Amino acid sequence: MFDVDQFASFNNDGYLIVRGFLSSEQVDRVRARFDPLFRGEFETGLQPDEWNWRFGRSEASLTRQICNGWKADRTIARCVLSENVGRACATLMGWTGARINQDNVIWKPPGARSLGFHQDDAYQQWVVPPSVATCWIALDRTRKTSGTIEYAPGSNWWPVEDRKFDFHAPQDYHEGLKYAAERLGIKTYQVIQIEAQPGDAVFHHGKTWHGSGPNNSDSPRRSVVAHCMTSESRFHPRNTGAIYSRYKRHEDTEMDESFFPIIYREDGYRSACLDHVCGR
């Protein structure tokens, strides 16, 4: 699925760009779901797990974000729970399979503010192993001025930083990255802004520092994101994640496939619920 150079790029830099991951028809279908989702019109009747922005109520300058849109919308589900997403994440990470950890639906209209730099693995203490790989998919052409995703190449080799920084509209969206580099005594590092076409994907390691700046362009910057974990993941027996440990049964670390479906496994298995969730 990936050649030697692509593996090397993911391992060395902590991210890998895959052009044309979605077709233009798929991009159009996913884009069309943004408006109803942020109006609170949920096709399945279920609310997403997190929902930070709503038409008519929320501040216009904030980046709009929904987490686990797949529970609310079948088009989002077909995109983020696809076998291709799972296979790519599992292959890059050396896992035998992948299950969804969480998705994000992100809408940064013109003028919307930044999302603070972070490592996704810093938010995984409720899961064993506490490690994700992410598929970030551009739905619009992204440029340096449009608040595209940015990476610090090689930061996937840095340890996970425990201190958390503001995610939504921080004053300095590079603050977390600067803090981590200083603590590690790293004086020089780069930040790369990804220029993508609609349908391009970027896969990143859970330890790679990333975030995005304000959208200073006159076009929206939309993306869908699938955070995957190994299909063998279990709940941590003691650590609690405020939102996702809701799905943990008492005295039991097994993850229910209805809430964390297995989207790819080497032996061809996919969770049975996916047919229903994806509306097939």
Ligand X SMILES: O=C(O)CCC(=O)C(=O)O
Instruction: Write out the residues near ligand X by the rule CB under 6 A.
Output: 106, 115, 120, 134, 136, 149, 210, 212, 223, 225
Structure-block tokens of residue 98: 């992948």
How far apart, in whole angstroms, are the C-alpha atoms of residue 51 and residue 147?
20
Of all residues in this chain, which one has the CB nearest to ligand X in the complex? Answer: 212
Q: How far is CA 180 from CA 58, 119, 184, 207, in A?
A: 32, 10, 6, 12
Q: C-alpha angle with apex 18: 53 to 86, nearest 5 degrees? A: 70
Q: Which is nearer to ligand X, 127 or 270 (CB)?
A: 127
Q: What are phi and psi of 259, to 5 degrees?
A: -105, -25
How near is the Cβ of 160 to ligand X at its closest, in Å? 14
What is the length of the chain?
280
Compare residues 80 and 274 and give the one whose CB is closer to ligand X. 80
- CB closer to ligand X out of 169 and 278: 169
What is the closest distance, in whole angstroms, from the C-beta atom of residue 237 to ligand X in the complex? Answer: 26
* Residue 147 CB, nearest approach to ligand X (Å): 7
Residue 190: how many CB atoms within 10 A of its CB? 11
Q: Looking at beta carbons only, is 74 or 168 nearer to ligand X?
A: 168
Q: Which is nearer to ligand X, 77 or 132 (CB)?
A: 132
Closest by CA to 107, choosing from 151, 21, 57, 168, is 168
Smallest gap from Cβ 46 to ligand X, in A, equals 23
**Closest distance of CB 134 from ligand X, Å:** 5
